[in-house]
Amino acid sequence: MKLKILVGTMTNTAEYAAQAIEMDCADLVDHIEVLLMDGLDISVFDEDALYLICCSTYGAGDVPDNARALCDSLDTAPRFLGHVRYGVIALGDRTHAQTFCFGGKKFDERLHSLGAKRIGEVFCHDASDGSMAETEAAAWCRTWLASV
Ligand SMILES: Cc1cc2nc3c(=O)[nH]c(=O)nc-3n(C[C@H](O)[C@H](O)[C@H](O)COP(=O)(O)O)c2cc1C
């Protein structure tokens, strides 16, 4: 099984988390590919792989700039994604109480509405609690992969 991690980030925290997963979880899947979301559209889900959305939150609960085109394409070029199984790591900060982790949650809503099947709960990382996103995400992902 291949794990494809799609990274939406503004200041690289989500990318570091994905890289930590790539190193820590290599023994649990055949191959891990980390892809920044820049320039991607809905066709990225054409491959037969397990998907992990790893995405932060900006503005008033928006996805980061590099994730906008992919997120929009789920609306503007929708297609049935019933073959897709995915997980979500949503990065945010609880001081933004009204929009906590909305970036990752936005992807979850859109993928769900297109028929994709989420495995497990959305994992939310809170930048305000002092924990390291890389450490938390890699530990969560090991458990998540075991449940797939
Ligand atoms: C200008 C700005 C706006 C933000 N807006 C939100 C928000 O609305 N909701 C939220 O949960 N986190 C918000 N955050 C927190 C980031 O999502 C969080 O720090 C995250 O870990 C950053 O990850 P990244 O470096 O991969 O972009 C905001 C951060 C900044 C700097």
Q: Is 144 close to ligand 1, i.e. is its CB under 6 Å away?
A: no
Task: Calculate how far, in angstroms, residue 82's C-alpha sits from the geometric centre of ligand 1.
Answer: 30
Query: Which architecture does CATH list for 2-147?
Result: 3-Layer(aba) Sandwich (3.40)
Confidence (pLDDT) at 80: 98
Backbone angles phi, psi at 94, to 5 degrees: -65, -15
pLDDT values of the chain reduced to their tens digit, one per residue, 148 residues: 999 999 999 999 999 999 999 999 999 999 999 999 999 999 999 999 999 999 999 999 999 999 999 999 999 999 999 999 999 999 999 999 999 999 999 999 999 999 999 999 999 999 999 999 999 999 999 999 999 9
Q: Which atom of ligand 1 is nearest to the CA of 16?
A: 26
51: Cβ below 6 Å to ligand 1?
no
Going by CA atoms, what residue is nearest to atom 28 of ligand 1? 58
Residue 83: what are its φ and ψ, rounded to 5°? -85, -5
CB-side exposure of 85: number of CA atoms within 13 Å?
Answer: 12
Residue 82 pLDDT? 98
Distance 83 CA to ligand 1 centre (A): 31
Residue nearest to atom 8 of ligand 1 (CA): 61
Q: Where are the domains of the chain?
A: 2-147
Q: Is the pTM of this model over 0.95?
A: yes
- Of 130, 25, 23, nearest to 87 by C-alpha is 25
